[in-house]
Structure 1
Amino acid sequence: MGLLFAGGAAIWQFQAMTTSSVSALACRASNRKVTTFEILNEKAELARLTFDAAGVSDAVELIHGDALDHLPNYKNIAFCFLDGEKEVYERCYEEVVTCMVQGGILVADNAINHQATLQPMLDRALRDDRVDALIVPIGKGELICRRR
């Protein structure tokens, strides 16, 4: 797997990618896909339409469902952008880090503005021997982890 996005914001993160984008080309060139999960019907349909309009549907695997139900099926994750229900971030973190390749990156959105809810996951990541982790105070805060 090349890139993995978990949560609705993945639509907007990937929306700017076109057939000439580096990420889409890299996925196509290596016969891989960007994978994104969306649990809500309306957002899944909007994502599908967006990917079609951008001409990148062939480089995207859109899974309509709960990411936690599907994450165990993915190994060798190189990148994950996590933005979804904050109450499940810690479970998603564990699933993703376990399956990340060495040097893989996990970015968890909202690390500052939802700090109270995310504190158990933030503490886990900052103490986790499997990753190098830091919180970057840009936007609403990003937890960035690199798999050792």
Structure 2
Amino acid sequence: MTTSKTLHLPNHLYEYLLSVSLREPELLLQLREETARHPRANMQVAPEQGQFLAFLVKLIGARKTLELGVFTGYSSLSVALALPPDGKILACDISEEFTAIARRYWQKAGVADKIDLRLAPATETLEKLLAESSAETFDFAFIDADKENYYRYYELVLKLIRPGGLIVIDNVLWSGRVTEADIQDLATNAIREFNSKLHQDERIDLSLISVADGLTLARKR
């Protein structure tokens, strides 16, 4: 199970963290509260994580971004609100049901025109972008999709991101299961392998931080 708050912080300290740092627009709060009632609510990104993504987008001056794994749209809405008026998100997902919620909030927030949602396997969408000469044209990417394909997604996204661009990958601490040797399921092993490969990847500058369920920041050299 993934987490919708930063790992291992006592509740009182986590609440304090939010109280002195979270600046959550009302529509994001409404979306978060609606998603909390969803049967797959554990897939929701934490609010401090959404704010951090928006901060990074502003910090690097991103205009053209990718998202792999939309769910109900909290991260994409956070990023869309942070983008300049001409900014765009190309968002990949396979669920019409989950992304219908996202679309509703994108419309309410007035950012639907910034988001190009592609309902297809992400590898197909990414390979199509590369075939359309979109290599090194994206500034920022957020990967939060099926863990077994993380490294495949990463390799494709790395080709699409410009030098100096940033890739952010979610769930890399996997609720601590990556450290438990007796846990050998496909997703956990995929994340372990992914983390190890990125540690050795000289094409990027790397930082893994313990926000939410663990975020890897990979800056393309």
**Shorter-chain TM-score range:** 0.7 to 0.9
More strand by share: 1
| Runs of 4+ that moved beyond 2 A | 14-18, 114-117
Kindly indicate whether the alpha-carbon contact (under 8 Å) linking 1:17 and 1:56 is maintained by their aligned counterparts in 2. no
Deviates more, 1:130-139 or 1:8-17: 8-17
Rounded to whole Å, the distance in 1 between the matches of 2:78 and 2:207 is 26
Structure 1 or 2: more helix by fraction: 2
1:22 Cα offset (Å): 3.7
Q: Name the structure 2 match of 1:137.
A: 210
Structure with the greater alpha carbon radius of gyration: 2
Flag structure 1 segments of 5+ consecutive residues without an equivalent: 28-32
TM-score by length of structure 1 reads: 0.85
In structure 1, the residue matched to 2:199 is 126
Whichever residue aligns with residue 25 of structure 1, its letter is P
Question: CA shift at 1:17, angstroms?
Answer: 5.8
Q: Secondary structure at 2:172's aligned position in 1?
A: coil
Structure 2's unaligned 5+ residue stretches are 1-62, 179-187
Tell me what 1:70 maps to. Answer: 125
- Is the CA contact 2:72–2:101 (under 8 Å) kept in the aligned structure 1? no
What residue in structure 1 maps to residue 113 of structure 2? 58
Q: Which residue of 1 aligns with 2:51?
A: none
Provide the rounded CA distance (Å) in 1 between the counterparts of 2:79 and 2:203.
31
Q: Deviations over 1:9-36 (max 9, x none)?
A: 5811122467xx4414251xxxxx2111
Q: Where do 1:6-45 residues align within 5 Å?
A: 6-9=68-71, 11-16=73-78, 21-27=81-87, 33-45=88-100
User: In 2, Cα distance between the equivalents of 1:17 and 1:93?
Assistant: 19
| Count of aligned positions | 141
Identity %: 25
Q: What residue is the counterpart of 1:30 in the other structure?
A: none
Match of 2:101 among 29, 43, 46: 46
